[in-house]
Amino acid sequence: MEISNSQFKHCDLITVVGRIDSATAPQFAEVFNSIMNEGRYKIVLDMEKIDFISSAGLRVLINSQKTCKRYNRGEVVLTNVPPNIFSALDLAGFTRLFKIFPDVLTAVGNF
């Protein structure tokens, strides 16, 4: 898994390439935590190049969403969600808990 993040004026963009499983979820969590620890809570996750996400990755998403939404200070939103991953998110009830945008520009523009 490769992970990178860029800081924009109104939000942060996280881009992941590869698999998010129990081996890589800690590194995935670390990127969210480092952004949130700096007091930034508006985060876009670009999922276009994610091949696979397990419940270990979903755990990171739900915990980050809880932290970001606290005090109404921000939220995590998703973009470019591949169909298989969308189905997994839907099965887990996550499609109600995260806004999903068709492309990065619209997702970033939401903030």
Partner 1 sequence: MEIFNDSPPSVLHAEFPGHFENLSDIAAFVRKAAVEAGLDDFSVYSVETAVDEACSNIIEHAYKGKQNGIITITCTIIPGELTVELHDTGKSFDPTRVPKPKLDVPLEERQDSGLGLYFINQLMDEVIFSFDKKFGNTLTLKKKASPLQPPDKQ
Binding site for partner 1 (CB under 8 A): 19, 21-23, 52, 54-56, 58-59, 62-63, 65-66, 69, 81-84, 86-88, 90-93, 97, 100
Measured distance CA(41)–CA(82) in Å, rounded:
24
* Residue 107 identity (one-letter amino acid): A
9 vs 93, beta carbon nearer partner 1: 93
Query: Closest separation between CB of residue 12 and partner 1, Å?
Result: 20
Q: How far is CA 88 from CA 55, 57, 82, 93, in A?
A: 9, 12, 10, 9
Q: How far is CA 76 from CA 3, 23, 32, in A?
A: 16, 22, 10
Query: Closest separation between CB of residue 78 and partner 1, Å?
Result: 11
86 vs 111, beta carbon nearer partner 1: 86
Q: What is the DSSP string of 7-47?
A: E-SS-EEEEEEEEESTTTHHHHHHHHHHHHHTT--EEEEE-
6 vs 87, beta carbon nearer partner 1: 87
Query: Closest separation between CB of residue 9 and partner 1, Å?
Result: 26
7 vs 51, beta carbon nearer partner 1: 51
